[in-house]
A = this chain, B = another copy of it.
Amino acid sequence: MRVALIEQAAAMLVAREPVTLRALAGRVGTSTMAVYTHFDGMPGLWGAVRQEGFARLARGLAEVSPSDDPVRDLAALGAAYAANAVENPALYRAMFDAAADLPDPGAAGAGFAVLVDAAQRAVDAGRFVAADPAAVATRFWAAGHGVLLLVLSGVLPDEALDEHSPALAAAVFTAAGDDPERCAASVRAGWAGL
């Protein structure tokens, strides 16, 4: 019942339908009380939906297999992140509406840890010289998040994602110390996996 409600809510979210208590209960063939026994109301359900969104995101990032080029891996992770957001734009926007108070913040941290790990490998490989892996990951994430939200909210056209995301990634990576040309090649390779 829990999973049915969460998945139905997520489905209605991606279908751009208004996720209302009665409509949700009707879709899964139960009554409105189910939301209260399992989630203690709509805010609880939203929390669970956001949680599921971050879980799917972490799952998508985990599918990116590491290579011997950590910068390529970072770019590939960015591409997977963007793909996940573009496939379910409404879910992605809902995730960050109240991402601060997640039922289990660890799920969001797991996805971020993959980024930090790749950045750490880039440091170990001598690509990022004297750079803080967490800071690089954060800046890479923030830049991608900004482009994504501007595109998803319709401020920037869809093409802006492919036009600006790799450039921003390369800018962050070269600022971390990577060689510009080598970085450009790695980013190109990583982003192509989209």
Residues of A at under 8 Å CB distance from B? 96-101, 108, 135, 138-139, 141-150, 153-156, 160, 163-164, 167-168, 170-172, 174-175
Contact (Cβ within 8 A) A167 B99: no
Q: What are 24 A-to-B residue pairs whose CB atoms are below 8 Å?
A: A96-B149, A96-B150, A98-B153, A99-B153, A99-B154, A100-B153, A100-B155, A135-B163, A135-B164, A138-B156, A138-B164, A139-B143, A139-B171, A141-B150, A142-B146, A143-B143, A145-B146, A146-B146, A146-B148, A149-B149, A170-B175, A171-B175, A174-B174, A175-B175
Task: State whether B146 touches A160 (Cβ < 8 A).
Answer: no
Chain B residues within an 8 Å CB radius of A171: 139, 171-172, 174-175
CB-defined contacts of A154 to chain B, threshold 8 Å: 99-101
Q: Which residues of B contact A143 (CB under 8 A)?
A: 139, 142-143, 146, 168
Question: Per DSSP, are chain A's interface residues mostly helix, strand or loop, or mixed?
Answer: helix
**Residues of B with C-beta under 8 A to A163:** 135
Which residues of B are found within 8 Å of A142, using beta-carbon distances?
143, 146-147, 150, 156, 164, 168
- Stoichiometry (number of copies): 2
Least CB distance, A51 to chain B, in whole angstroms: 14
Expressed in whole angstroms, the minimum distance between the Cβ of A112 and any Cβ of chain B is: 10
**When A146-B147, A171-B172, A171-B174 are in contact, do A99 and B138 touch as well, CB less than 8 Å?**
no
Bound form: Cα–Cα A168–B98 in Å: 24
Further pairs besides A98-B153, A145-B150: 16, Cβ < 8 Å: A97-B153, A99-B154, A99-B155, A100-B153, A100-B154, A135-B167, A139-B167, A139-B168, A141-B150, A142-B146, A142-B164, A144-B146, A145-B146, A146-B146, A170-B175, A171-B175
